[in-house]
């Protein structure tokens, strides 16, 4: 199965995509957080290209929110970098990475529905065959709440040496994927 995360400049389906990450894992093998990180896919995109060529939108309040995040998170996704790739280059790289996992009947987990909506929107806008079919998407928050009787989509993780407060930087898309995978595999009721 896959865990997927995008960072955007808004909360609408046509928002600019800053970056995206995905992790593929077999929950039966119970990978470690480092194994999840080591196998992650990550792409950071050229924002100007998306706004000019694709007319993707940026929301001022979201940009203000990004400016309040820690420097590491802003560097990872928000701040422009000479290595930012075109959307199509990053998207095709992710498609190749997903195809290399040879897991065509998998689920793809995301926290909430924005990630799926943004991907569906840009794939439709550009006439792209979806990387993951619509019916494969699942919501991590709902699964966590159902499995562990929580109401906020988060649960403690029981894995030796893992502390989500110290080991995860929220809004870093790879770390967001790692945390969601850890909660699904190693979650414990509070």
Span 134-158, pLDDT tens digits: 999 999 999 999 999 999 999 999 9
What is the CATH number that goes with domain 2-138? 3.30.420.10
Interatomic CA distance for residues 159 and 182, integer angstroms: 8
The mean pLDDT value of the chain amounts to: 96
Q: Write down the pLDDT at residue 105.
A: 85
Interatomic CA distance for residues 150 and 176, integer angstroms: 19
Pairing of strands 41-44, 17-24: antiparallel
Please tell me which residue, 165 or 48, carries the higher pLDDT value.
48
Span 5-50, pLDDT tens digits: 999 999 999 999 999 999 999 999 999 999 999 999 999 999 999 9
Whole-structure pTM value: 0.95
Domain ranges across the chain: 2-138
């Amino acid at each position: 199965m896959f865990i997927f995360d995008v960072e955007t400049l808004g909360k609408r389906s046509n928002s600019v995509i800053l970056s995206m990450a995905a992790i593929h894992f077999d929950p039966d093998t119970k990978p470690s957080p480092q194994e999840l990180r080591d196998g992650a896919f990550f792409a950071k995109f050229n924002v100007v290209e998306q706004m000019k060529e694709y007319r993707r939108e940026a929301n001022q309040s979201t940009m203000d929110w990004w400016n309040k995040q820690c420097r590491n998170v802003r560097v990872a996704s928000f701040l422009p970098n000479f290595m930012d790739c075109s959307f199509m280059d990053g998207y095709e790289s992710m498609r190749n990475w997903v195809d290399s996992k040879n897991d065509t009947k998998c689920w793809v987990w995301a926290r909430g529905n924005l990630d799926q909506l943004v991907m569906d929107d840009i794939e439709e806008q550009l006439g792209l065959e979806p990387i993951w079919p619509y019916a494969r998407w699942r919501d991590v928050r709902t699964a966590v709440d159902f499995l562990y009787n929580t109401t906020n989509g988060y649960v403690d993780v029981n894995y030796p040496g893992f502390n989500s407060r110290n080991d995860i930087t929220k809004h870093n898309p790879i770390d967001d994927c790692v945390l969601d995978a850890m909660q699904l595999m190693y979650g414990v009721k509070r």
